Chain A
Amino acid sequence: MFTPPANRIKGDSVNFMATCLCDAIFDDAAISAVKILRKFAKKVEFPQEQTCCGQPAFNSGDFESARKVIRHTMKAFSHNDWPIIVPSASCAAMLFHSSKIAFRESPQSEQEAVEKFSLRVWEFCDYLVNALGVKEIGGKYKAKAAVHNSCHGRGTRTPESLKKLLTSIEGLEIVEFESQDECCGFGGTFSVVFPQISSEMGEAKVRAVAAAKPDIVVAADTSCLLHQRGIAQKLGINYPAKHAAQVFYEAMKNGGIA
């Protein structure tokens, strides 16, 4: 559903988009992502004018606000034309898929600019494997890992890239759990507009994952994990959630190759 454009640009000098969530809460995930990118890419820049991809406003139907924020984001990354790597499947999908919907009634020139911009945006795991050609993370991390594939990864190569990199880590074992494909109920503002439904979905997800007794829960999105961990904690369920980048970095550190 959120299939990225076919001809996105690649390169070994990249921009990093931290995402507003990492900016506000999950610095660990963003820091790990940058460290990993530095291992495999030549240059990683962080244009500091960046703020947010506009998804919160967009999903709630306020396309005008979304457009304002996307324009700003495009401007923030305009000092070069390098790829933009995002440690979030949902933010990436916002910028390479949904942005076009936000601008569908805008003047042709602006639509073209948005289209051009979308060709630069990649989710983190997808970029490592399919642009930088990373075949393995290597290193060591002994753990049973439950992998949560966020819904915005549907139709993208993020799930397969994430799996490929995780399975290259010595000691890491992926465990299956019930209803893996079902949404965890975060859905951004959905979580607070429909809190009952969101929590029931979240509880079902958390229980299904916990039943597989994983040592860690890994995802390419911190947003889903924010919701799942929040529910788990309230229920008194141990739920050690980590962003994929954190797992990659720890593995490489343990293996002495960080």
Chain B
Amino acid sequence: MSVQKIDEFCKNLDPVVKKAVRIASIGSTVGREKTLLEAYPEEGKAEHLRELANAIRSYNWAENLETAVKSLESNGVKVLFAEDADEARRMILDIIAKRRAKNVVKVKSMTTEEIELNDFLIKNGIDTVETDLGELIIQIDGERPSHIVKPAIHRRREDIARSFEKHGISAYDDNPQHITLNARKYLRKKYLSADVVISGANYVLAKEGAIVLATNEGNSRFSMACSKTHIAIAGFEKIIPSSRELAVFLNLLARSATGQHSTVYTDFVRGPGSAKNSPQEMFVIFLDNGRSRILGSEFSDILKCMRCGACMNRCPVFRLVSGHAYRATYPGPLGIVLSPLLAGDDNLEKFADLPKACSLCGACADVCPAKIPLPDLVLKMRDKIKRAHVPVPNDINFKAWAFLATSPKLWRALIPLNKLANFLPLNAIKIGPMGRWLKSRTLPKLRGGNFRKWFKKNG
């Protein structure tokens, strides 16, 4: 029997993990609403901010990029351009190798996940450690993040403690505070011996030539303070005109992501530092990796995403399956549009099932801080995949249906015949759409044509 991978994942998912993901997602969703209302009780104000976030990101991408490059360079930043993941990885390794650096500390960055940087660096003999606690937890177990903001949301304290013990970070202790303190002790050593810090960028300010990083743990500050070289990589869509526009985004980001009014730390980095214990050189790598292709398509709105995770926190499907079900860097409503797009038109089969893992409830669009029309994009993805003739499991062929629905005489003749099904042993059907329906649901008595009969009599 054909089965959708994500559906199967849901079936096999540990109920403890399912519950944890659900509770955390609902918590963030509630927090989002609470903090937005607290900060902006005035009718329509929060909504207006979201409209601004959408509109500002519709501005001239190329001009922003040109301005950003000029400003960054005049601040002493070396700016590089990577066409794809492969080029980005090699560029980063090259910078590290030229400096004979051996120890890299990483600030959490979904972009570096996208280009699969860590494994590449480690394979090339560079000790690369994630400094965000959630990322560290999954890195030591060779896992990928299951959420773009809370990467270890699927993990229990007991298995984290076991993992820490197994990988020599600390003795077994599953108290969350102790786990955190143990990670702090372990990472101190890593920070203090770091040569290079690699980060992403939440935003890039074109006018001032600066990157902005939003964190809670203090790992970005510490990483930068201890390293001699800072490499930041960002998709070009992260660029916004200036720090004036940043007010719009900073007011939306943490509230949408975690239900905080603000992250504890917000770093503004416009080049090598001038204090002691700060990077002496800085690189910014702008990444394409399919983004210009997406920009030129009808899916360009997805580039407005600020990676807050509100959509997946709100998504009823995500809440039931967790991020790993999507098999891609970006899960949830964001991922079912972005992941197939990033994979490229030659590789649509890889994630062709993702856009279907959605009941089109529209809740994601209600919480997206940039007002990205996600359900519309999901539908367009389904069209794109259908037109490319990429098969997906359980797909229903609607050609016959369309024929029937455009042949009114046939329709009127056949619909009343559905009553015959009431006499059939439908429960014997175990396959196909009917089988899948009846597995967990009953069907009411079919009453085809009764309305038309009534209307004719009572017209």
Contact = CB atoms under 8 A, between A and B. Distances in A.
A197 to B, nearest CB: 5
A72 B320 contact: no
A195 B440 contact: yes
Contacts of A186: 359
A1 B356 CA distance: 18
Interface string A112-150: 000000000000000000000000000000000000000
A7 to B, nearest CB: 21
Contacts of A64: 402
B441 A227 contact: yes
B433 A62 contact: no
Contact of B359 (A34, A56, A151, A226): A151
Interface in B376-392: 376, 379-386, 392
Given A31-B454, A98-B379, A185-B316, A230 B395 contact: no
Nearest to A104: B298
Contact of A192 (B360, B363, B373, B396): B396
B446 A197 contact: no
B412 interface: yes
A46 B10 contact: no
B366 A48 contact: no
A85 B150 CA distance: 45
A1 B365 contact: yes
Contacts of A26: 447
B321 interface: yes
A54 B402 CA distance: 8
Q: For chain B, what secondary structure do more than half of its interface residues adopt (helix, strand, loop), or is it mixed?
A: helix
Interface residues of A, number: 72
Nearest to B406: A72
Given A27-B454, A68-B406, A191 B444 contact: no
Interface string A177-196: 00001110111111111111
Given A1-B373, A46-B455, A69-B406, A59 B379 contact: yes
Of A2, A192, A203, most buried by chain B (CB within 10 Å of CB) is A192
Interface residues of B, number: 71
A201 interface: yes
Contacts of B386: 60-63
Interface stretch (B1-9, B64-72, B221-229, B237-245): B1-9
Given A46-B455, A76-B408, A229-B444, A187 B396 contact: no
A80 interface: no
Q: For chain A, what secondary structure do more than half of its interface residues adopt (helix, strand, loop), or is it mixed?
A: helix
B79 interface: no
A195 B405 contact: no
A146 B454 CA distance: 29
Contacts of B360: 59, 151, 187-188, 190
Interface string B121-152: 00000000000000000000000000000000
A64 B382 CA distance: 12
A27 B254 CA distance: 49
Interface string B421-441: 000000000000100110111
A158 interface: no
Contact of A60 (B380, B393, B395): B395
B451 A27 contact: yes
A251 interface: no
A187 B375 CA distance: 12
Given A185-B316, A192-B396, A194-B357, A48 B442 contact: no
B401 A194 contact: no
A59 B401 CA distance: 13
A190 to B, nearest CB: 5
Contacts of B393: 193
A48 B412 contact: yes
Of B360, B382, B399, B439, most buried by chain A (CB within 10 Å of CB) is B360
Contacts of B265: none
B250 interface: no
Of A24, A72, A76, A182, most buried by chain B (CB within 10 Å of CB) is A24
Interface in A169-219: 181-183, 185-203
Given A24-B447, A27-B447, A1 B375 contact: yes
Contacts of B392: 193
A79 interface: no
A192 B442 CA distance: 13
Contacts of B362: 1-2, 151-152, 154-155
A109 interface: no
Nearest to A1: B362
Given A186-B359, A230-B443, A197 B6 contact: yes
A58 B405 contact: no
Given A31-B451, A48-B408, A200 B320 contact: yes
A20 interface: yes
A52 interface: yes
Closest 8 A/B residue pairs (Cβ): A187-B359, A61-B382, A230-B441, A183-B361, A65-B402, A1-B362, A27-B450, A61-B386
26 contacts: A1-B373, A18-B452, A20-B405, A24-B418, A25-B446, A30-B451, A56-B396, A56-B398, A57-B398, A60-B386, A61-B379, A61-B381, A61-B385, A62-B397, A68-B406, A71-B406, A101-B380, A151-B359, A154-B366, A182-B316, A183-B316, A189-B396, A191-B437, A191-B441, A192-B437, A201-B320
Given A18-B451, A48-B412, A183-B363, 6 more contacts: A46-B459, A63-B383, A66-B398, A192-B394, A193-B394, A230-B437
Interface of A: 1-2, 18, 20, 22-27, 30-31, 34, 46, 48-52, 54, 56-66, 68-69, 71-72, 76, 98, 101, 104, 151-152, 154-155, 181-183, 185-203, 226-227, 229-231, 233-234
